[in-house]
Structure 1
Amino acid sequence: MTLQSKLDAFKVDFEAGKPPYNVPHSVIETMHRATAELIASGAAGRALKAGDKLPDFALSDPDGNMVLSADLLSRGPLVISFYRGVWCPYCNMELQALQDALPRFQELGASLVAISPQNPVNSRKSIDKNNLTFPILSDPHNDIAAAFGLRFAMPDYLVALYKSLKNDLPAFNGDPSWTLPMPARYVVGQDGVILYAEVNPDYTRRPEPEDMLPALRLAATQAAA
């Protein structure tokens, strides 16, 4: 079963209001409106693309260790996943799919990291909830997401909805700004050039982990040349 088919199946049940979700239709309509507006804004088209240079980053893991992009690239190609947080079921399913694909990435000499705006405590929850063996990095204020062109401010009506659902992003993230990253996936060669980029303003759509394998094979070939 593909990642997207799992996401689609969850979405059908969630939007139908089936237990345990029991989500009112008005909530679904609000979420659809916000997604449609983000798509129409063209923000995804302004994010970093294949051929662009990776912005250097230094971010902390849940144990407080600084993880530097330069150190990761010194060891091989890099896979980066930007996600919204442990509170997002679509993100958790994506992280689980990436974990399953990790051995194939490692066979090609690649490292994998995931980046979210949540604080280290909630990054640890992401690791524990999804049985992850790759690093989850905290991006305070979505600053690195902004460098990639992924950060967006949630509209006031969506903030009000999240508050009504007790989804307190400032508490999750340690940041009062109510911003999120668009979910995104990147493959970066050891020279720091992005070889693969997939950005989707619709958070229910995620690329398959296998989609990155051609770029990783290319990166391995470049490294061996």
Structure 2
Amino acid sequence: MSLQARLDAFKADFRSGKPPFNAPPEIHPVMERATAELIDGGAAARALKVGDRAPAFTLNDPDGKPISSADLLARGPLVISFYRGVWCPYCNMELQALEAARLAIETAGATLVAISPQKPANSRRSARENSLGFPILSDPGNEVAAAFGLRFALPDYLVELYKKLGNNLPLTNGDDSWTLPMPGRFAIGQDGNVLYAEVNPDYTKRPEPEDLLPALRAGVAQPA
């Protein structure tokens, strides 16, 4: 089953309110309103695109070790997935799909990482629960996400809904900004330029991991 088919099936079950979700029906219009406002506001147009220069960064892995994009790119191209957090089932399914594609990504010469605003302990939990063989780097305040054009502030009505649902982002992320990254996936060439970019303000829509492989292989074939 494709990643998007899995996401669609989960969304249908979640919206139905059947066990184990038991989601109250009134939450869905609120979430859909926030997504529609991101789309209508042109949020995706502000994200990095193919050919843009990717920002350099250094972030800590779950064990507190600093990992720099420069060091990663010295080995080969870099694939980055921006991950909202351990609480997001759509993101977790994407991480699982990326893990399934990791061998193909690494065979193409690239390194795979995810970037999340959550604290390292939550990244360790994400990696454990999703059986990941690649790291989730912590991006406090979504600063790197902002450099990629992905950071957005949750509207007040969505903050209130998250609080009612027990989704305490300040506790999960360790900051009070109530910001998240839009889901985004990028492949970056060794020259630092973006080879592939897929950003969607609708967090229930994710590209297939294999979609980036042609651009990645074409980039590898070019001289660094």
TM-score under structure 2 normalisation? 0.99
Q: In structure 1, what residue type is equivalent to 2:12? A: V
Q: What residue in structure 1 maps to residue 175 of structure 2?
A: 175
After TM superposition, the structure 1 = structure 2 runs for residues 102-121 of structure 1, keeping only pairs within 5 Å, are 102-121=102-121
CA distance in 2, matches of 1:130, 1:15: 23
Q: In structure 2, what residue type is equivalent to 1:33? A: R
CA distance in 2, matches of 1:42, 1:120: 31
Q: In structure 1, what residue type is equivalent to 2:154? A: M
Q: What residue in structure 1 maps to residue 132 of structure 2?
A: 132
CA distance in 2, matches of 1:208, 1:182: 16
Runs of 4+ in structure 1 deviating by more than 4 angstroms, as ranges, are: none
Q: What residue in structure 1 maps to residue 198 of structure 2?
A: 198
How many equivalent residue pairs?
224
Q: What residue in structure 1 maps to residue 145 of structure 2?
A: 145
CA distance in 2, matches of 1:108, 1:203: 27
Measured against aligned partners, the alpha-carbon deviations of 1:108-158 in whole angstroms (never above 9, x if no partner) come to 110000001001010101100100010110000000000011000000000
CA distance in 1, matches of 2:222, 2:70: 17
CA distance in 2, matches of 1:123, 1:139: 11
Measured against aligned partners, the alpha-carbon deviations of 1:62-117 in whole angstroms (never above 9, x if no partner) come to 10000000000000011000010010000000000000000001111100000010
Q: What residue in structure 2 maps to residue 154 of structure 1?
A: 154
**Structure 2 residue matching 1:25: 3-state secondary structure:** coil
Q: What residue in structure 2 maps to residue 81 of structure 1?
A: 81
CA distance in 2, matches of 1:37, 1:54: 26
Q: In structure 2, what residue type is equivalent to 1:107? A: T
CA RMSD of aligned residues (A): 0.8
Is 2:215 the counterpart of 1:218? no
CA distance in 1, matches of 2:18, 2:221: 48
Q: What residue in structure 2 maps to residue 91 of structure 1?
A: 91
CA distance in 2, matches of 1:75, 1:19: 46
Specify every segment of 5 or more residues in structure 1 that has no aligned partner in the other structure, as ranges. Answer: none
CA distance in 1, matches of 2:162, 2:215: 37
CA distance in 2, matches of 1:43, 1:33: 14
TM-score under structure 1 normalisation? 0.98
**Structure 2 residue matching 1:114: 3-state secondary structure:** strand
Q: What residue in structure 2 maps to residue 122 of structure 1?
A: 122
CA distance in 1, matches of 2:141, 2:63: 19
Distance apart, 1:202 and its partner CA = 0.2
After TM superposition, the structure 1 = structure 2 runs for residues 38-49 of structure 1, keeping only pairs within 5 Å, are 38-49=38-49
CA distance in 2, matches of 1:172, 1:153: 16
Calculate percent identity across the aligned residue pairs.
Answer: 68
Specify every segment of 5 or more residues in structure 2 that has no aligned partner in the other structure, as ranges. Answer: none
Q: In structure 1, what residue type is equivalent to 2:91? A: C
CA distance in 2, matches of 1:98, 1:18: 28
Distance apart, 1:216 and its partner CA = 1.1
